[in-house]
């Protein structure tokens, strides 16, 4: 695929940072601004890059992607790489990104700036090059008109080799897959994935899954069908990675409408696993599945649980909020509660035994998390330094909620953020990794008793 413009990355996917700030306070449609540093990294006291400088190891990372969007035509004036239309088959490749407009920044400068607690400027991250490897042949349907030349197994093999190359230089052997929400273009999930991978210290391999959604609020209802249609290709991606690479654990992060793909994938795999042995189930290597701001009908989700959505992953985490404006609008549109809305108003007579009996199924209320209300309370996984800390440390260390500083409600099978959350989390990390020092106890950041 033709590139937008090629700029050789000096430190790859988010590490090619950062000296020029963007004028204004809103990124272009094909950009995002660098998210605030997670509070767990405050002032560099805990450093995600302590054991991992990819540049000194000769590894300009580049973000991997998989998409079932239709490729843009060479003369397309609106789309550079892929359109918002369905492409049906799964295409894979890699992309280079940069933040700012200066490619001479050093790794140490990039690390320092990205961990700053209070930045005075916004830094736009953008895609600068896209290289498609080709089609995963297993996703071609019997009635798809795909030329024989594009039915090769070579693209899949190159993609899997790229994953193994990253795993081979990483302290851990984990693969992370990010699935975006609605109203974004092809580039957006690549940028978010690059950003999250950066704050994971470039551990493992990170893949952006870009399903076909239109950059328009009026495409909401049509995108619902697209989300379900893409669930099969997401499932195929997970299976190919699990069986074809050296990965030890696969983590999937779904956001907003993208959680529909992820949940449907879990249900399908759960049905597959219904008559399988534990060893066969573990061959899929699903570890953490995280649903953020889930725009999904609670009843539909309950049906997926009956289908076995909990059989395959080691843990399923659902972040919820009582002040999520986007889900409030969705609830009014469909007249049904959404999975991402906090369940504090649940019927007091409801049978909650199932949730108490499955501690691997975790509900986390972000309503009181620092900056949990930003962007209408829907974009908290990037905008709240507490929520991003909790999610990233879950992915890095597999700690259960009680070991990440969260507190459980007395009357609900759910967790919340206490006022001294960051101190609690960092003390737990000091136990998980001796290189991290436990912080001194500090005054809680908000009023209320420390539970």
Place of tokens 């209070």: 118
How high is the pLDDT of residue 267?
98
Between CA 379 and CA 57 the distance in angstroms is 34
- Per-residue pLDDT at 12 exceeds 70: no
348-364 average pLDDT score: 90
Could you tell me which residues are beta bridge partners of residue 348?
Answer: none
What's the pLDDT tens digit per position in 103-153? Answer: 655 666 667 777 877 777 787 888 989 999 999 999 999 999 899 889 999
Between CA 182 and CA 87 the distance in angstroms is 17
Which residue in 97, 70, 84 sits closest to 183, CA to CA? 84
Between CA 44 and CA 116 the distance in angstroms is 8
- Per-residue pLDDT at 450 exceeds 70: no
Which residue in 83, 65, 79, 185 sits closest to 132, CA to CA? 65
In Å, what is the CA distance from 5 to each residue of 95, 283, 355?
Answer: 11, 40, 50
How high is the pLDDT of residue 59?
55
What's the pLDDT tens digit per position in 219-238? Answer: 999 999 999 999 999 999 99
What's the pLDDT tens digit per position in 282-337? Answer: 999 999 999 999 999 999 999 999 999 999 999 999 999 999 999 999 999 999 99
- Cα 244 from chain centre: 22
How high is the pLDDT of residue 124?
83
How high is the pLDDT of residue 149?
87
8 A C-beta contact, residue 16 and residue 9: yes
Instruction: Pick 94 or 113 by higher pLDDT.
Output: 94
Confidence (pTM): 0.90
340-368 average pLDDT score: 90
Between CA 204 and CA 251 the distance in angstroms is 11
Return the sign of the alpha-carbon dihedral for residues 63, 396, 213, 22.
negative
Between CA 54 and CA 60 the distance in angstroms is 7
Between CA 292 and CA 365 the distance in angstroms is 11
Enter the tokens of residue 310. 């909990």
Which residue in 28, 403, 439, 411 sits closest to 215, CA to CA? 28
What's the pLDDT tens digit per position in 362-415? Answer: 999 999 999 999 888 999 999 999 999 999 999 999 999 999 999 999 989 999
What's the pLDDT tens digit per position in 253-287? Answer: 999 999 999 999 999 999 999 999 999 999 999 99
How high is the pLDDT of residue 107?
63
How high is the pLDDT of residue 447?
31
Between CA 175 and CA 89 the distance in angstroms is 22
- Per-residue pLDDT at 168 exceeds 70: yes
Between CA 192 and CA 187 the distance in angstroms is 9
How high is the pLDDT of residue 210?
98
The mean predicted confidence, pLDDT, of the chain is 86
Q: Residue 297, Cβ neighbours under 10 Å: how many?
A: 17
How high is the pLDDT of residue 98?
82
How high is the pLDDT of residue 104?
59
Q: Using DSSP, state whether 137 is helix, strand or coil.
A: helix
Q: Please return the burial class of 222, using the count of CB atoms within 10 Å of its CB with bins 0-12, 13-18 and 19+.
A: middle
Q: Residue 3, Cβ neighbours under 10 Å: how many?
A: 15
- Judged by average pLDDT, the poorest of 5-9, 103-107, 189-193, 201-205 is 5-9
User: Would you place residue 441 in the very low, low, confident or very high pLDDT band (cuts 50, 70, 90)?
Assistant: low
340-363 average pLDDT score: 88
Place of tokens 């030349």: 149
- Per-residue pLDDT at 424 exceeds 50: yes
**Distance in angstroms between the alpha carbons of the first and the last residue of the chain:** 54
Which residue in 406, 444, 407, 400 sits closest to 425, CA to CA? 406
Burial per residue of 75-92, b for 16 or more beta-carbon CB atoms within 10 angstroms, e otherwise: eeeebbbbbbeebbbbbb
């Amino acid at each position: 695929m033709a590139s937008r413009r090629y700029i050789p990355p000096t430190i790859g996917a988010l590490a090619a940072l950062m000296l020029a700030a963007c004028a204004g306070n809103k990124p272009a449609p094909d950009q995002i601004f660098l998210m605030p540093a997670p509070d767990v990294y405050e002032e560099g006291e805990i450093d995600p890059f302590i054991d991992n400088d990819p540049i000194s190891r000769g590894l300009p990372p580049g973000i991997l992607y998989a998409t079932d969007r239709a490729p843009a035509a060479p003369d397309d004036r609106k789309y550079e790489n892929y359109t918002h239309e369905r492409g049906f088959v799964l295409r894979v490749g890699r992309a280079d990104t940069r933040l700012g407009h200066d490619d001479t920044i050093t790794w140490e400068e990039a690390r320092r700036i990205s961990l700053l607690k209070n930045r005075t400027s916004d830094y736009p991250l953008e895609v600068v090059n896209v290289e498609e490897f080709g089609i995963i042949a297993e996703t071609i349907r019997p009635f798809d008109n795909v030329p024989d030349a594009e039915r090769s197994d070579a693209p899949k093999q190159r993609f899997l080799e790229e994953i193994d190359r990253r795993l081979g230089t990483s302290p851990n052997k984990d693969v992370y897959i990010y699935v975006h929400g609605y109203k974004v273009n092809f580039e957006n999930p690549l940028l978010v994935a690059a950003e999250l991978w950066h704050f994971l210290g470039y551990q493992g391999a990170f893949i952006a899954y870009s399903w076909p959604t239109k950059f328009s609020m009026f495409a909401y209802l049509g995108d619902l069908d697209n989300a379900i249609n893409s669930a099969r290709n997401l499932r195929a991606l997970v299976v190919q990675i699990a069986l074809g690479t050296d990965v030890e654990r696969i983590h999937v992060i779904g956001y907003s409408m993208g959680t529909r793909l992820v949940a449907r994938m879990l249900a399908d795999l759960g049905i597959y696993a219904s008559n399988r042995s534990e060893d066969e189930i573990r061959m899929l290597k699903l570890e953490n599945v995280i649903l953020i701001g889930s725009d999904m009908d609670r009843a539909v989700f309950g049906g997926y649980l009956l289908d076995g959505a909990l059989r395959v992953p080691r843990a399923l985490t659902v972040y919820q909020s009582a002040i999520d404006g986007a889900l409030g609008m969705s609830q009014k549109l469909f007249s049904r509660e959404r999975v991402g809305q906090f369940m504090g108003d649940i019927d007091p007579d409801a049978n909650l035994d199932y949730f108490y009996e499955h501690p691997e199924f975790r509900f986390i209320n972000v309503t009181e998390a620092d900056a949990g209300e930003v962007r209408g309370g829907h974009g908290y996984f990037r905008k709240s330094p507490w929520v991003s800390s909790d999610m990233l440390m879950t992915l890095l260390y597999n700690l259960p909620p009680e070991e990440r500083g969260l507190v459980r409600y007395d009357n609900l099978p759910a967790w919340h953020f206490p006022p001294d959350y960051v101190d609690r989390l960092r003390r737990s990390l000091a136990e998980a990794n001796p290189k991290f020092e436990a912080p001194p106890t500090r005054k809680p950041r908000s009023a209320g008793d420390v539970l």
